[in-house]
Chains A and B, each alone.
Chain A
């Protein structure tokens, strides 16, 4: 009884096994509700059975290659976006480049669709894949640059002063305090922005379908108004997104000076 009361007490902390049980309880509750709420004739969500059936069909039609196609697109776009935005953010410490880089950061208010249509019809870009990468790199970069600028702005003056007091040149200060000293922050920015990027990726894939990927799967399912298949594809995309998020957060915590659950 006392432990039941804990469940509804603000700021109460549970023991680890109790937490696990709680997660299991909610999982069962959600799936159970899903099952029950989809037994009638008319329902908002597709039933679990039809989602499973959809998943099976999608698997037959090459879900796995599509997943790898999306992952490869994500990887390529991330690679190029980092290659562009990390140096840009670091160079923002040079007065010469500051205005340019702040300008780039403003481009995040540019609509995605317009750029995509523009690049799709541009004579300079031949393949669908190159176009997809292009769109994603532009968008990832503007978000990365924005977040990196705010990380740099948040570095306490004492860290710069400490480096300077050790007779470091300005370039060494940049290297030690910003580049090496904040690499785990850069990874965390990547992780946070991945959610937006992952969503954009699926959109871009469904606009330019020639190159395959998870976006194509959703688009195909949508064409036949097959809710089970749409739902199955969504679940797959969600789970892969969560997995990527987890991997990046593990990468961040793999630095020995990063403590779990605290910012420092």
Chain B
């Protein structure tokens, strides 16, 4: 059964973005427009996957979307507190979890989260409660006084995601969150992302992955980043797939998903 949905308002607008480092253009001509998805009876956020071969500029695009790198041309707009007044993204307005789940090495998990909450503008009186809440919900209460170097990769990743949720709210960009995880951890991260995604109407998650089946299973929109042509090694969007319109979003994995994955792989291999 195809779920019905509506879209309303833009949650992300990437307009003609390019990034040139030194004299090498890494990505160019990137355009993305994502709308707030509305489903009756669901708090439904957006889940966007970016796929493509290595070196096509996924990480560079993510740093630009999170304001950590200024685009050389174009702009990136996200909604602000005022309706119909989008703002240009700045560092910190969008959460970013890099591939190595970097944390502060000199702080315990609890203190990392406290610091993140303070930077996120949560009132001092509420910080402890909010942090403990998250720690309990994500099964990290036992590790709360450990330093990152004594945590497992999975624990560090969860702590990194929680930090960003506390400081930046519910717009989250994750660079290859599934790479290097064992089967159990992959399931954990999947359910974590779904939890974040359904916890808030405006929640928007963008992630990159090399696991195309996983992208098709989780995302409601998929962008393929690749080189425009073999002679021009600059990353750009070579294809995009709207799983909502295709009736594949929020569905159990089916034959149609498998076929879509095949199409996406073809698009990747050609770019």
List chain A positions with a Cβ less than 8 A from chain B: 156, 158-159, 161-168, 176-177, 180-181, 183, 255-257, 259, 264
Contact = CB atoms under 8 A, between A and B. Distances in A.
Interface string B127-156: 000000000000000000001111000000
Contacts of B168: 165-167
B104 A264 contact: no
A142 B30 CA distance: 48
Given A164-B92, A165-B168, A257-B149, A158 B106 contact: no
A97 B150 CA distance: 37
Given A165-B96, A256-B147, A257-B148, A181 B104 contact: yes
Nearest 10 Cβ contacts at the A-B interface? A167-B92, A257-B147, A158-B102, A162-B102, A165-B96, A164-B91, A166-B167, A167-B119, A166-B119, A158-B98
A18 to B, nearest CB: 29
B194 interface: no
B16 to A, nearest CB: 24
Contacts of A166: 92, 115-116, 119-120, 163-164, 167-168
Contacts of B164: 165-166
B66 interface: yes
B232 interface: no
**On chain B, which size bracket covers the interface?**
20 to 34
Given A161-B68, A164-B68, A165-B92, A183 B106 contact: yes
B15 to A, nearest CB: 22
Interface of B: 63, 66, 68, 91-92, 95-96, 98, 100, 102-106, 115-116, 119-120, 147-150, 160, 163-164, 167-168
A180 to B, nearest CB: 5
Given A162-B104, A163-B104, A166-B168, 15 more contacts: A159-B102, A161-B68, A162-B98, A164-B91, A164-B92, A165-B66, A165-B91, A165-B96, A166-B120, A166-B164, A166-B167, A257-B106, A257-B147, A257-B150, A259-B149
Contacts of B167: 165-167
Contacts of B163: 166
A259 B148 CA distance: 11
Nearest to A164: B91
Contacts of B68: 161, 164-165
Contacts of A183: 106
Nearest to A181: B106
Given A167-B167, A180-B106, A181-B106, A161 B63 contact: yes
Contacts of B63: 161
A168 B119 contact: yes
Contacts of A181: 104-106
B208 to A, nearest CB: 15
